[in-house]
Structure 1
Amino acid sequence: MFRPTLAASALALLVATPALADNPVPEGTTLAEDQTFTFWLLDAIKSMDPQINTDVEGSDVLRQLFEGLYNEDADGSLVPGVATDHEVSEDQTTYTFTLRDDATWSNGDPVTAQDFVYAWRRLADPATASEYAWYMELMQVVNAPEVISGDMDPEELGVRAVDDHTFEVQIATPLPYFPQMVVHASTFPVHQATIEEHGDNWTRPENMVGNGAYVLDEHILGERVEMSQSDTYWDAENVVLTNLTALTINDVNQGLTRYLAGELDRVDVPAGQFPRLKEEYPEQATSTPYSCSYIYMLNVGDSGPEVLNDVRVRKALAYGIDRDIIVDRILQGGQEPSYNWTHWATAGFEAPETEWSTMSQEDRMAEAQALMEEAGYGPDNPVELTLNYNTSEDHKRIAIAASQMLKPLGFDITLNNMEWKVHTDRMQAQDFEMARYAWCGDYNEASTYLDLFTSYSGHNNGEFFNEEYDAVMKESKTAEDPLPMYQEAERILAEEMPILPIYHYAQVDMVKPDIRGLPTENVMQTWYAKDMYRVAE
Structure 2
Amino acid sequence: MTLKSILTATTAVSLIAVGSAAWADGHATHPVTGETLASDQSFTYRDLDESPSIDPGTAEDSAGGDILRDLFEGLMNQAPDGTLVPGVATSFASSDDGLVYTFTLRDNAKWSNGDTVTAGDFEYAWKRAASPELASPYSWFIELMSLENASEVIAGDVDPSELGVTAIDDTTLEVRLTQPLPYFAQMTTHFTTFPVHQATIEAHGDDWTKPGNMVSNGAYVLSEHVPQEKLVRVRNESYWDNDATIIDSVTSLIINDEAVALTRYLAGELDRTDVPAGQFPRLQAEYPEQAVSVPLACSYYYMFNLRDGAPEEIQDANVRKALSLAIDRDIITENVLAGGQESAYTFTHWATAGFETPNIPMASMTQEERNAMAKELMAEAGYADGGLEIDLVYNTSESHKSVAIAVSQMWKQTLGVETTLANQEWQTFLEARSNGDYEVARGGWCADYNEASTFLDLMDSGSGYNDSKYVNAEVDALLAEAKTADNPQPNYDRVEEFIAQDTPIIPIYHYASVKMFAEDLKGWPFDNFQQNWYSRQLYKVAE
Q: Above 0.5 in TM-score?
A: yes
Contact 2:218/2:236, CA 8 A, preserved across alignment: yes
| Structure 2 residues without counterparts, runs of 5 or longer | 17-29
**1:407 and 2:412 matched:** yes
Contact 1:63/1:185, CA 8 A, preserved across alignment: yes
Q: Which amino acid aligns with 2:412?
A: K
Cα deviations by residue, 1:444-493 (Å, 9 ceiling, x for unpaired) = 00000000110121101110011010000001011011111111111111
Distance 1:328 1:503 in 2: 11
Query: Which residue number corresponds to residue 391 of structure 1?
Result: 396
Distance 1:277 1:56 in 2: 25
Contact 2:14/2:31, CA 8 A, preserved across alignment: no
Q: Cα offset for 1:303?
A: 3.9
Q: Cα offset for 1:304?
A: 2.0
Query: Which residue number corresponds to residue 3 of structure 1?
Result: none
Query: Which residue number corresponds to residue 447 of structure 2?
Result: 441
Distance 1:431 1:329 in 2: 31
Aligned length: 529
Distance 2:453 2:271 in 1: 34
Q: Cα offset for 1:27?
A: 4.2
Secondary structure of the residue that 1:253 maps to in structure 2?
helix
Contact 2:8/2:86, CA 8 A, preserved across alignment: no
Contact 2:12/2:244, CA 8 A, preserved across alignment: no
Query: Which residue number corresponds to residue 319 of structure 1?
Result: 325
**1:476 and 2:482 matched:** yes
Distance 1:502 1:16 in 2: 37
Match of 2:292 among 262, 268, 286: 286
**1:77 and 2:77 matched:** no
Match of 2:505 among 499, 509, 513: 499
Secondary structure of the residue that 1:216 maps to in structure 2?
strand
Match of 1:173 among 179, 190, 210: 179
**1:160 and 2:166 matched:** yes
Q: Which amino acid aligns with 1:7?
A: T
Q: Cα offset for 1:47?
A: 0.6
Q: Write out aligned runs for 1:224-235 (5 A).
A: 224-235=230-241
| Structure 1 residues without counterparts, runs of 5 or longer | 1-5
Q: Which amino acid aligns with 1:405?
A: M
**1:115 and 2:121 matched:** yes
Query: Which residue number corresponds to residue 39 of structure 1?
Result: 45
Compared CA separation, residues 19 and 273, structure 1 to 2 (3 A)? closer
Q: Write out aligned runs for 1:44-443 (5 A).
A: 44-378=50-384, 380-408=385-413, 409-443=415-449
Match of 2:7 among 14, 30, 36: 14
Distance 1:514 1:199 in 2: 41
TM-score (norm 2): 0.96
**1:462 and 2:465 matched:** no
Compared CA separation, residues 515 and 435, structure 1 to 2 (3 A)? same
Cα deviations by residue, 1:285-333 (Å, 9 ceiling, x for unpaired) = 1100000000011101114211111000000110001000000001111
Query: Which residue number corresponds to residue 21 of structure 2?
Result: none
Distance 2:479 2:364 in 1: 25
Cα deviations by residue, 1:37-76 (Å, 9 ceiling, x for unpaired) = 0011000111110110101000001110000001101110
Q: Which amino acid aligns with 1:468?
A: E
**1:509 and 2:515 matched:** yes
Compared CA separation, residues 515 and 303, structure 1 to 2 (3 A)? farther
Q: Cα offset for 1:28?
A: 2.0
Q: Cα offset for 1:19?
A: 8.6
Q: Cα offset for 1:15?
A: 7.0
Compared CA separation, residues 56 and 21, structure 1 to 2 (3 A)? farther
Q: Cα offset for 1:196?
A: 0.9
Distance 1:245 1:16 in 2: 26
Secondary structure of the residue that 2:208 maps to in structure 1?
helix
Secondary structure of the residue that 2:7 maps to in structure 1?
helix
Q: Cα offset for 1:410?
A: 2.6
Q: Write out aligned runs for 1:19-30 (5 A).
A: 22=15, 25-30=31-36
Query: Which residue number corresponds to residue 493 of structure 2?
Result: 487
Contact 1:20/1:235, CA 8 A, preserved across alignment: no
TM-score (norm 1): 0.97
Q: Cα offset for 1:110?
A: 0.6
Q: Which amino acid aligns with 2:481?
A: E
Distance 2:33 2:229 in 1: 38
Distance 1:343 1:453 in 2: 15
Distance 2:494 2:160 in 1: 34
Contact 1:294/1:502, CA 8 A, preserved across alignment: yes
Cα deviations by residue, 1:150-203 (Å, 9 ceiling, x for unpaired) = 111000000000100001101111111110010000100000111111111111
Q: Cα offset for 1:21?
A: 7.1
Q: Cα offset for 1:16?
A: 6.8
Q: Cα offset for 1:20?
A: 6.1
- Which shifted more, 223-232 or 14-23? 14-23
Q: Which amino acid aligns with 2:164?
A: G
Compared CA separation, residues 97 and 532, structure 1 to 2 (3 A)? same
Q: Cα offset for 1:17?
A: 5.9
Compared CA separation, residues 505 and 25, structure 1 to 2 (3 A)? farther
Q: Which amino acid aligns with 2:408?
A: S
Q: Cα offset for 1:25?
A: 4.4
Distance 2:185 2:102 in 1: 11
Secondary structure of the residue that 1:200 maps to in structure 2?
helix
Q: Which amino acid aligns with 2:402?
A: R
Q: Cα offset for 1:381?
A: 4.0
Compared CA separation, residues 21 and 185, structure 1 to 2 (3 A)? farther
